[in-house]
Structure 1
Amino acid sequence: MINSGATMRHHKKPIISPLRYPGGKAALYTKLRAIVRANDLTSGTYVEPYAGGAGAALGLLVTGQVRRIVINDLDPAIYALWKAVVSEPLAISRMIEKVELTVPEWSHQKDIYLNAPRDDYLSLGFATLFLNRTNRSGVLNGGPIGGMDQTGNYKIDARFNRKTLVERLRLIALHAKRISVANTDGMTIIKRYSKRDNTLIYADPPYFEKAGSLYLNSFTETHHSALAACLNAVSDTKWLLTYDNVPRVAELYSDRRREIFALNYSAHRVTKANEIMVFSDSLTIA
């Protein structure tokens, strides 16, 4: 059931997402593109129930690999960012161009992130983007690059390239009518889209190890088990799942095909870790 010698070639991939995410799956663009083509889904819908940075989804959409994407995230701050990017790209672009990249401004945006009304998508969304681009490793609950005293080797503006961010938002805006944004539980999205024709679901949930430091919405054992039950129940539809390569994954998905692959992580320091991809029964593996 498991291929432990798989090699995944990562050719040049489009970088469209404005967000930095530890272990972001934009690196899987080539693999996902091949799967989309092998399953004749180029005119279909691609769904990410745990979208985070949505790097793969946006890459597939902008390069014409799929017709429509669904970006879902339970975190209200991440949802607000995507809601603002899709519905008010010009407004958030102006904020990117004008914001000061200073520690006082960081403190201000941190306060907005913690206290803004959840339905103030523009303010909350921009604060989320600001912290993601100015915090160490992009972790939202971390501290600013360079420290509060800005004595580090890199300063707070090191990952905030205004021109690049505005250009990415411009590209996303060109395809905004084909992007659906949702703020609900990932399993709800899986159940909603799994039975729809011409649809591919890619689930990338919070992982078993170090989940608390990388994700604001961490999973418990109950969550992992419930997700497995949800996906295994629709094994006759087209989905794939990625996890950290721990024994529990093989137990939860013992009847599904699995493949080990290597992926670089950027949180705290660059490392390469083995992860595992799980496939539904009806999916053609490219």
Structure 2
Amino acid sequence: MSSITYLANPGNLKKPYISLLRYPGGKSSLYGRLRTLIRLNGLSNGTYVEPYAGGAGAALALLVTGQVREIVINDLDPAVYAFWRAVVTEREAFSDLLVNAVLTVEEWTKQKEAYLTAPRDDYLTLGFATFYLNRTNRSGVLNGGPIGGKDQSGNYKIDARFNKQALSERLRLLSLYSNRISVRNEDGLQVIKEFAASPSAFVYADPPYVEKAGSLYLNSFTKSAHQSLADCINSLSETKWLLTYDDVPLVHELYSDRRRELFSLNYSAHRVAKANEVMIFSDALVTETGEDRLF
């Protein structure tokens, strides 16, 4: 029998800001909650897996604070994958591009062209173009326009979210952990199937939203894709995973047999807003100790 409870503040512990990407709906704010779940389930020396990683803010924070031994960052979007691949394997070249980046609409146009036309296996060119657009576009949406508009008449300009010093320091910090970061470009279902049964793995799946996904993600899900994910992960209910989704009827229908909690999340995509989301737990995941709930 499933249950639904309400979560007022799912993770109020302070978290380090490590990711170089801005991501609409990013879940780095769940760092405290994830840290507690990992400790409670005895996975502190294990592998943390994000099959739909995006900005991977939570994964990186957990790694650099020593909560997990290694992380797996997977994203099917070839541009997002190229970014992570370049950051992990070509750090010095990426750093040079970052430090010498020209923050103008003219350069934005060049990077947009590179993003659209660069070969998928040219990870540095495609990855940096992805990063450049993410840091200079409104809300970080890759298919959006530059901050301030192409005429730069807005209150904020194209360089508003491109602090070279801060971003370079994040890049340097990540380089210290590069040998413990695995970057994948696979279907999320395959990654879930590969790692879910491992006794030392914790899978956190944050797939594209059911609603408004097309405006936030380049690889949005169809209804059948949401169904396929549910079929897959529900069949692995005796392994340790956590799933988050937007709070819509379809999600409650697909996961009616699992424990669910509602929580509020602040996000920014065109405007700052607060949305209710659903946290779904596998049957095997411990979320409380004795009679005292931790959350």
* TM-score normalised by the chain length of structure 2: 0.96
1:106 and 1:131 in contact (8 A); partners too: yes
The 1-side partners of 2:116 and 2:236 are apart by 37
Q: Which residue of 2 aligns with 1:164?
A: 166
Deviation for aligned residue 1:7: 3.5
Deviation for aligned residue 1:229: 0.3
Q: Which secondary structure does the structure 2 equivalent of 1:4 belong to?
A: strand
Distance 1:5-1:43 versus aligned 2 partners, 3 A rule: closer
Task: Give per-residue Cα distances to partners, 1:112-142, cap 9 Å, x unaligned.
Answer: 0000000000000000000000000000000
Map 1:140-159 → 2, pairs under 5 A: 140-159=142-161
Of 253, 260, 263, the match for 2:262: 260
Deviation for aligned residue 1:11: 2.3
Runs of 4+ in 1 over 3 A off after TM superposition: none
The 2-side partners of 1:256 and 1:195 are apart by 18
The 1-side partners of 2:251 and 2:257 are apart by 11
1:238 and 1:282 in contact (8 A); partners too: yes
Opposite residue 147 of structure 2, the aligned amino acid is I
Question: Is 2:137 the counterpart of 1:122?
Answer: no
Deviation for aligned residue 1:195: 1.1
Deviation for aligned residue 1:51: 0.1
Deviation for aligned residue 1:5: 4.9
The 2-side partners of 1:78 and 1:168 are apart by 17
Q: Which residue of 2 aligns with 1:49?
A: 51
Deviation for aligned residue 1:91: 1.0
Task: Give per-residue Cα distances to partners, 1:151-196, cap 9 Å, x unaligned.
Answer: 1000000000001111101111100000000001000100111111
Unaligned regions of 5+ residues in structure 2, if any?
288-293
The 2-side partners of 1:5 and 1:24 are apart by 18
What is the aligned length? 286
1:6 and 1:259 in contact (8 A); partners too: no
Deviation for aligned residue 1:250: 1.1
Opposite residue 259 of structure 1, the aligned amino acid is E
Deviation for aligned residue 1:93: 0.9
Q: What is the RMSD computed on CA atoms of the aligned residues? A: 0.8
> How high is the sequence identity, in percent, across the aligned residues?
66
Map 1:229-240 → 2, pairs under 5 A: 229-240=231-242
Q: Which residue of 1 aligns with 2:15?
A: 13
Distance 1:180-1:5 versus aligned 2 partners, 3 A rule: closer
Of 272, 278, 281, the match for 1:279: 281
Of 94, 105, 124, the match for 2:96: 94
Deviation for aligned residue 1:6: 4.5
The 2-side partners of 1:191 and 1:9 are apart by 27
Q: Which secondary structure does the structure 1 equivalent of 2:115 belong to?
A: helix
The 2-side partners of 1:171 and 1:44 are apart by 21
The 2-side partners of 1:274 and 1:143 are apart by 27
Unaligned regions of 5+ residues in structure 1, if any?
none
Distance 1:166-1:213 versus aligned 2 partners, 3 A rule: same
Opposite residue 263 of structure 2, the aligned amino acid is F
Q: Which secondary structure does the structure 1 equivalent of 2:24 belong to?
A: coil
* TM-score normalised by the chain length of structure 1: 0.99
Opposite residue 156 of structure 1, the aligned amino acid is I
